[in-house]
A and B are shown apart, each in its own frame.
Chain A
Amino acid sequence: MTVMVVQGGFDPWQEIQSYQNSADIMAGKVGATSVFIGTMRDFNEGDPVKGMTLEHYPGMTEKQLETIVAEAGQQWHVLDSLVIHRVGDIMPNEPIVLVVVWACHRGDAFDASRYIMEALKSRAPFWKKERLITEDERWVAENTKGYKSV
């Protein structure tokens, strides 16, 4: 289980590849790998967005992410997991977050990765400040709901 908060860009596919290569313990056991990548849009709430800055609370962010990953491991059979979240200045199309869960079966992989992602959205102390094409800046007030209400 690995959690990383990184300043600057990262290539999620390269991170997955190198993590899998280094995790011998998983070899032969993995039946399902669930990958979620969150990237930056160039629009939000009807306005074009030029870039954004992600602030975080160093220490608490890692602590919360580690707790969330551990909770997922208690609820589902997870072989391993990797969470990477970026901070600092970000441009549209660039990855913000990567959540990978390796499991024996798809149910555990899908459900654990969804749990990690939704919990991250509501509990990990990150804050987005958007820069619009007008050069105005604004804090994102709250995250959208991950599940549609029925």
Chain B
Amino acid sequence: MSIKVRYFAGLKESLGRSEDNLAFTGFITVRELWHCVNPDQRLPNNILAAVNMDYVDLDSGVSDGDEVAFFPPVTGG
């Protein structure tokens, strides 16, 4: 199993990639996941996160097979 991590908009551009796949079993929070896949990058202050397309708190847990997304504040409409 693995966790798919996706990035959007300006965050995708600054990281230079749109996704990561992390082979993982066990418990990890969204915040810890960010540091696993971006060890040299600080978590941006205004970042939003979603797990399986629902907004989540950065301290919520992630499970095997989840799709996690990180992105800047939304600007649609």
Do A59 and B53 touch (CB < 8 A)? yes
Give the distance in Å from the alpha carbon of A38 to the alpha carbon of B77 in the complex: 6
Q: Is the CB of A127 within 8 A of B74?
A: yes
Interface centre among B6, B69, B74 (most CB of A within 10 A): B74
The answer to whether B65 has its CB under 8 Å from any CB of chain A is no
Please give me the residue from chain B that is nearest to A54 by CB atom. B76
B45 an interface residue at 8 Å Cβ cutoff?
A: no
CA distance A120 to B71 in the complex (A): 16
Contact flag A117-B77 (CB < 8 Å), given A60-B50, A60-B69: yes
Q: Chain A, interface size: which category? A: 20 to 34
> Do A56 and B53 have beta carbons less than 8 Å apart?
no
Q: How large is the interface on B (under 10, 10 to 19, 20 to 34, 35 or more residues)?
A: 10 to 19
Question: A57, B71: Cβ atoms under 8 Å?
Answer: yes
- Nearest residue, chain A, Cβ from B46: A142
Q: Is A125 an interface residue (CB 8 A)?
A: yes
Q: How far is the CA of A38 from the CA of B75 in the complex (A)?
A: 13
Determine if B53 and A129 form an interchain contact, defined as CB atoms under 8 angstroms apart.
no
Q: Which 8 A-B pairs have the closest CB atoms?
A: A126-B76, A127-B9, A60-B53, A139-B10, A140-B75, A121-B77, A128-B75, A142-B73
